[in-house]
């Protein structure tokens, strides 16, 4: 009976680690995309303000 609970907790822990890793990578990728977009927007605004 103990081995069933042991495997249950091992699988649960692995699932939690996997979920956390996937969520972290997803959030980091979205953040990097947002930062690139913000930098492009600032660059565009900076160039247009120089031309005025």
Model pLDDT for residues 1-52, shown as the tens digit of each residue = 789 999 999 999 999 999 999 999 999 999 999 999 999 999 998 888 777 6
- Distance separating alpha carbons of residues 14 and 18, to the nearest angstrom: 6
- Distance separating alpha carbons of residues 14 and 20, to the nearest angstrom: 10
Model pLDDT for residues 31-45, shown as the tens digit of each residue = 999 999 999 999 998
Q: How far apart are the first and last CA of the chain?
A: 77
pTM for this prediction: 0.68
């Amino acid at each position: 009976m103990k081995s069933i609970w042991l495997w249950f907790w091992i699988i649960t822990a692995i699932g939690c680690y996997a979920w956390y890793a996937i969520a972290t990578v997803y959030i980091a990728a979205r953040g990097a995309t947002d930062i690139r977009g913000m930098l492009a927007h600032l660059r565009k605004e900076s160039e247009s303000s120089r031309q005025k």
